[in-house]
């Protein structure tokens, strides 16, 4: 968990998503398997829609929990929208699709927009960026 980014992820769930669904923080999208050349990959937040409204950390079985479920993927960066956040938004969407989740959207939460890069991000289906401002509860 990140001191700066975790509150941004929670803000999105609470404010932009109206506390709908289960927010799983630090979602384990990929398990480490050195023999297969896989490094673990966590996603800042995954909202499983249609589940009881609550937030929690990762649990065993979460990767199976999302199968067939509608989800919102969240990646947060406490800086301006940049190429690294865009990459995380797009790749995270694909990782959840690999787990057979029905991705409603993949969101990058950032502190400041970049008009050019925002336009590029919108080219990717179901991907968007949202600006978090300090003090937003």
pLDDT digits (tens, 9 = 90+) for 14-55: 999 999 999 999 999 998 776 666 678 999 999 999 999 999
Are 49 and 24 in contact by the 8 Å Cβ rule? The answer is no
* 40 assigned to some structural domain: yes
The two tokens of residue 96 are: 């959840």
Query: Is 49 among the domain residues?
Result: yes
- How many angstroms separate the CA atoms of 39 and 100, rounded? 20
Q: What is the pTM of this model?
A: 0.92
Domain count, the chain: 1
| pLDDT number for residue 67 | 97
45 domain-assigned: yes
Per-residue pLDDT at 4: 85
Residue 98 counted as domain residue: yes
In the numeric block, the tokens 């909202």 are attached to 47
DSSP assignment letter at 136: -
Q: From CA 84, how far away is CA 82, in angstroms rounded? A: 6
Would 136 be classed as within a structural domain? Answer: no
In-domain check, residue 52: yes
Structural domain that includes position 91: 5-131
Q: 48: which residues sit within 8 A by CB, 6+ positions away?
A: 21, 22, 24, 65, 66, 69, 70, 71
Domain of 123, CATH number, reads 3.40.1350
Residue 135 pLDDT: 60
Decide if 137 is inside a domain.
no
Q: Is residue 73 part of a domain?
A: yes
């Amino acid at each position: 968990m990140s001191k700066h980014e975790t509150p941004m992820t929670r803000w999105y769930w609470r404010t932009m998503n109206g506390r709908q669904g289960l927010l799983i923080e630090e979602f384990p999208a990929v398990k480490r398997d050195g023999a297969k050349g896989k490094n673990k990959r966590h996603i800042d937040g995954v909202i499983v829609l249609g589940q009881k409204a609550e937030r929690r950390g990762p649990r065993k079985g979460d990767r199976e929990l999302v199968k067939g479920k509608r989800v919102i993927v969240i990646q947060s960066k406490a800086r301006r929208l940049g190429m690294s956040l865009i990459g995380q938004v797009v790749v995270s969407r694909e990782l959840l699709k690999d787990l057979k989740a029905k991705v409603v959207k993949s969101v990058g939460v950032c502190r400041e927009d970049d008009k050019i890069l925002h336009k590029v991000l919108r080219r990717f289906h179901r991907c968007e960026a949202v600006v978090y401002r300090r003090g937003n509860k």
